């Protein structure tokens, strides 16, 4: 799903005569790719738009609907004097505020050769153009390592880095507050950890202990400092974007449902074990899942280890989520055979809740579509 940079609601896909556009049903803005614009906007205008976007020193305030990168504000001579079009130089998405698209000059005639081709051939040519632009963008990305020095710390620990995150508005108070509460409770418990976990951890053989309170308290406790820090990292890196997309209360509802779903999966798969389980991983797995589906083109970077060698790799959030999901499936086998004390079942329970929540959010989004005028 793509997100409106103005209203932060999910965009709706629309197939038009000009091609595929993404519309905001709230502000009537729209988004399209450079490849699509080249097919029906004057070539000189599109080239000027793209070349100006890659210049340095331009304002970059809004986040790209596709990847979250900050877009360049471009003013071109062929458009209205006050028109500033937002262009993402990473994934070639262009955002148009209401009535901006209409100011661009359209092509007066189409290439006669292309018009003579059958629809399948024209569609294939368009797809090749999109692929060529995407490959050019990939070649321009920096694959040498993290952009900021502090990113090396989580990257060397095997954690993914969110590359060039966009600006967030409003402040993600729910994410920060939740992280603070987890940190306070977990650090306090570390002074006398074993008795606290025995009392407030989730025990599969008795899940309703303390009146069901352990279903909540186990979320705020962690088995060690690294367990705590890794969960806080994922919560803070991805939770803010998900909170921005959903709003504060829906975000907290997602966390609660993913946590409960993960706990149910752990209880069912543990066969009545009496070993307590703690950690926020189920709820955070729901956040990661929603992020991967809501921002599939967001770029993530991480170090891959080849013996003693490290290679910096950049991939989309959707791709990394798929790899992580396969790893969780293998982890479930380790858990069920007693080779791991990590509850991978809780992770997959959170994944299921995240997918259901994303699907429900997408279905419940407003279906109104502003009319498209194509000259």
Q: Is the pLDDT assigned to residue 168 strictly greater than 60?
A: no
Q: What average pLDDT does range 264-271 have in this prediction?
A: 89
Sign of CA dihedral 74, 79, 80, 86: negative
Indicate the average pLDDT of the chain.
81
Q: What average pLDDT does range 197-211 have in this prediction?
A: 91
Question: Tell me, what's the pLDDT at 336?
Answer: 86
Give whole-number Cα distances, 141 to 63, 134, 135, 321, in Å: 18, 11, 10, 21
pLDDT band at 372; cut points 50, 70, 90: very low
φ, ψ of residue 6 to 5 degrees: the values are -95, -50
Q: Which is higher by pLDDT, 79 or 116?
A: 116
Per-residue pLDDT of 56-69, as tens digits, reads 778 888 888 877 77
**The tokens of 80 are what?**
């209205």
Residues 207, 268 contacting (CB under 8 angstroms)? no
Question: Tell me, what's the pLDDT at 373?
Answer: 35
Contact residues for 70 (Cβ-Cβ < 8 A; gap 6+): 60, 61, 62, 63, 64, 164, 166, 167
Question: Tell me, what's the pLDDT at 133?
Answer: 45
Question: Tell me, what's the pLDDT at 322?
Answer: 93
3-state secondary structure of 340: coil
Q: What is the largest CA-CA distance in the chain?
A: 79
Q: Is the pLDDT assigned to residue 161 strictly greater than 70?
A: yes
Residues 272, 205 contacting (CB under 8 angstroms)? yes
Q: What average pLDDT does range 174-202 have in this prediction?
A: 93
Question: Tell me, what's the pLDDT at 54?
Answer: 80
Domains of the chain as residue ranges with CATH: 12-140 (no CATH), 149-363 (1.20.1540.10)
pLDDT band at 253; cut points 50, 70, 90: very high
- Nearest alpha carbon to residue 157 among 243, 55, 234, 59: 234
Q: Which is higher by pLDDT, 35 or 139?
A: 35
Q: What average pLDDT does range 249-255 have in this prediction?
A: 94
| Residues 121-143: b if buried by 16+ CB within 10 A, e if exposed | eeeeebeebeeebeeeeeeeeee
Distance CA 248, CA 40 (A): 40
């Amino acid at each position: 799903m793509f997100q409106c940079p103005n209203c932060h609601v999910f965009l709706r896909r629309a197939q038009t005569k000009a091609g595929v556009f993404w519309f905001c049903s709230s502000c009537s803005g729209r988004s399209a790719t450079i490849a699509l614009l080249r097919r029906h906007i004057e070539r000189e205008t599109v080239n000027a738009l793209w070349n100006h976007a890659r210049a340095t020193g331009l304002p970059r305030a809004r986040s790209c609907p596709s990847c979250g990168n900050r877009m360049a504000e471009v003013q071109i001579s062929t458009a209205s004097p006050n028109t500033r079009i937002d262009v993402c130089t990473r994934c070639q998405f262009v955002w148009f505020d209401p009535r901006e698209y209409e100011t661009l000059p359209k092509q007066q005639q189409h290439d006669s050769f292309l018009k003579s081709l059958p629809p399948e051939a024209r569609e294939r040519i368009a797809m090749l153009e999109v692929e060529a632009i995407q490959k050019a963008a990939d070649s321009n990305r920096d694959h040498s390592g993290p952009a900021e020095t502090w990113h090396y710390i989580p990257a060397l620990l095997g954690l993914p880095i969110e590359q060039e995150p966009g600006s967030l508005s409003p402040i993600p108070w729910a994410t920060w507050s939740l992280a603070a509460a987890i940190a306070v409770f977990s650090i306090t418990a570390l002074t006398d950890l074993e008795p606290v976990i025995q009392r407030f951890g989730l025990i599969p053989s008795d899940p309703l202990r303390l009146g069901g309170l352990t279903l909540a308290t186990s979320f705020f406790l962690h088995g060690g400092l690294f367990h705590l820090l890794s969960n806080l990292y994922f919560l803070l890196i991805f939770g803010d974007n998900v909170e921005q997309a959903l709003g504060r209360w829906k975000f907290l509802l997602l966390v609660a449902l993913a946590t409960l779903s993960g706990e149910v999966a752990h209880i069912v798969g543990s066969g009545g074990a009496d070993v307590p389980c703690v950690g926020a991983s189920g709820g955070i797995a729901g956040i990661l899942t929603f992020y991967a589906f809501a921002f599939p083109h967001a770029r993530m970077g991480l170090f891959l280890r080849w013996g003693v060698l490290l290679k910096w790799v950049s991939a989309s959030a959707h791709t990394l989520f798929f790899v992580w999901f396969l790893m969780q499936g293998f982890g479930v086998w380790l858990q069920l055979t007693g080779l791991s004390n990590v509850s991978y079942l809780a992770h997959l329970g959170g994944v299921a809740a995240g997918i259901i929540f994303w699907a429900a959010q997408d279905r419940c989004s407003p279906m109104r579509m502003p009319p498209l005028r194509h000259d």
